[in-house]
Amino acid sequence: MSEPEETGTGTIRLRVSSGDAGRRLDAYLSRRLSRFSRSRIRRWVVDNRVLVLGRRRKPSYLLRPGDEIRVDPPPPRPTGLTPEPLPLNVLHEDSSLLVVDKPAGQVVHPGAGNWSGTLANALAYHLEELSREETVRPGIVHRLDKGTSGLLVVAKTERAHDHLSGQFARREVRKRYLALVYGSVEKDRGEIDVSLGRHPRSRTRISTRTRKPRSALTRYRVLSRYPGFTCLSVAPHTGRTHQIRVHLTHLGHPVVGDGTYGGRRLRQLPDSIRASEMVTMGRLFLHASSLAFVHPDTDRRVRFESPLPPELEAVLAILK
């Protein structure tokens, strides 16, 4: 099967072989142009951006041997996103996706006060073809807070983007975090099933007391205990903004280093600890350590892991 011919203007030309005779037009294009989703290709057909032998056809049109197809995709919308040659810790990359290990302190996508230096800026430089060119979040299907480090999966094609987004929406992606929290968590394992939403007076904060609650579930288990602290393995079942941080604060055990939701606990620490590297590390003790999902190309489940960053290992060394 010959490769699609792409012109410098973005037009794609294909010729139907005898082996593809009888296929639906939209199904054929979806297979040949696999980097685009079937819904997008169908929209192009409906919008008369696909011609067969110079004529408009329905998505259900059955192809004939020798049919010449011309596809004129719409030009990508400007993103306002500037590619930047920033460090990017890539743990895995293939034709459909990559898995990166984000450092703490880096914002995932541009926003107010963070228009450069983001993970999206780095990805725009790293990737030649970005899925979802019309957005300012190239290929990013989930996010981590600025102060959280760890694993993120990034789609390189539209098909992979839709596949991964569907898994997140159906809550089939398994994420696990390592968190150090204030206090001694009583139960060895448990779950926090408390709805979350925007704080009624502070739009940048999330709260359990909100006018528009959304269901949220977090499971946890104790990994180790230290005097005045507990190290947890945390698995969010839902993916609400600041979910882990707010849920653990609701439990009475804020994440160490969380000035937004745990600042009061920070001020209650003994002076010797407050002056230590643990308090001055300048980040949350929250790390996305494990990520598992079904690969869009193979339909097999894959799993990636990330060890604790050195600055968090140093905190545990202090406690030990």
Using CB atoms within 10 A of its CB, is residue 150 exposed (0-12), middle (13-18) or buried (19+)? buried
Active-site pick, 145, 162, 188, 193: 145
Tokens of 139: 């290929």
The encoded tokens of residue 295 equal: 């690969």
* Degrees to nearest 5, angle at CA 12 with 9 and 17: 155
Length of the chain: 320
| Separation of alpha carbons 141 and 154, rounded Å | 7
Look at strands 149-155 and 286-294 and give their pairing: parallel
Give the span between the Cα atoms of 25 and 42, in whole angstroms. 9
Query: Which residues, in sequence order, are CB contacts of 38 under 8 Å at separation 6+?
Result: 26, 27, 30
Active site residue 145: yes
C-alpha angle 296-298-299 in degrees, rounded to nearest 5: 65
How far is it, in rounded angstroms, from Cα 17 to Cα 2? 9
Alpha carbon distance 269, 275 (integer Å): 10
Q: How far apart are CA 41 and CA 45, in angstroms?
A: 6
CB 142 within 8 A of CB 152: yes
Helices (H), the chain: 25-32, 38-46, 119-126, 158-169, 243-251, 263-267, 271-274, 310-319
Residue 45: both structure tokens together: 């057909």
Which element (helix H / strand E) includes 257? none
Q: Which residues are catalytic?
A: 145
